[in-house]
Amino acid sequence: LFWKAFLIPVALHMIWDLPIPNFFYIPLILNGIVSWYIVFGIVQQGLRQVKREQLNQTKEELARTQSVVVAVTSSHRAPVLQPR
Predicted structure pTM score: 0.64
What pLDDT is recorded for position 46?
Answer: 93
Phi, psi of 78 (to 5 degrees): -75, 140
The pLDDT tens digits of the residues spanning 24-79 come to 788 888 889 999 998 898 899 999 999 999 999 999 999 999 999 888 887 766 66
- Residue with the larger pLDDT of the pair 48 and 81: 48
Distance between CA atoms of residues 76 and 32, nearest Å = 65
What pLDDT is recorded for position 18?
Answer: 81
Distance between CA atoms of residues 11 and 5, nearest Å = 11
